[in-house]
Copies of this chain bind each other. A is one copy, B any other.
Amino acid sequence: MKTRERILHTSIALFNELGEPNVTTLLIADELDISPGNLYYHFKSKTEILNELFAWYEEAMYGILSVPESDMEIEDLWFYLHLIFENIAKFQFLYKDLVTVVAKYPHLEKRFQKVLSTKRKACNAVLERAKKAGRLNASDSEIEALTEHVILITTFWLSYSVINEGEVQNDALARGVYQVMSVVAPFLEVDRRDMINSLKEAYL
């Protein structure tokens, strides 16, 4: 792996572990056993490292969100949500210090908002489709509130885990998925609600 690539991979690892505000360019260089001068040969600033990582994040997220979610069953939804949570975990430094990071790198604000609004649309589409398929009983305003819940939970579940447990535990993602499912459950028929409980038993 070329130095430039190694810098990016080490940066994301350190950011995720220690939080972006606590990772200096010197620390990244130290961890790689290269000099700070070398690091700055490849990236003219810390911001540029962050930009590149954010581009990775966007690419991964839009990739997942563009999946043609044709009429999913509960198990598919569980799986799909897990995929999203996994990608969030991969870029958890963005989520754990979201407001701070966006304040520090203002040009990321609009881009992050765009990801969120894409997520919102995808979520809305999934719920509307479930309603049309007769799987979901919810009014328009209920679907609207549900969508907000789903986006809020997915966005802040990792922060919530860190605050409660001091770190991101192994089962944090599965518990996040369950938490999302539990907010949708009341609008499903009874037998599908049981299925969520089965999935909880199986994965949690």
State whether B19 touches A163 (Cβ < 8 A): no
Q: How far is the CB of A182 from chain B (nearest CB, A)?
A: 4
Question: What 1/0 flags go to A93-130 for Cβ under 8 Å of B?
Answer: 00011111011100001001100100000000000000
Given the complex of chains A and B, what is the CA–CA distance between A164 and B117 in angstroms? Answer: 9
State whether B160 touches A156 (Cβ < 8 A): yes
Which residues in B have their C-beta under 8 angstroms from that of A16?
none
Q: Which residues of A pack against B, CB within 8 Å? A: 19, 21-22, 96-100, 102-104, 109, 112-113, 116, 141-142, 145, 148-149, 152-153, 155-157, 159-160, 162-164, 166, 178-179, 182-183, 186-187, 197
A98-B159, A155-B156, A183-B183 given. 11 additional CB < 8 A pairs?
A19-B99, A21-B21, A21-B103, A97-B100, A109-B166, A113-B164, A149-B153, A149-B182, A152-B153, A152-B179, A156-B160
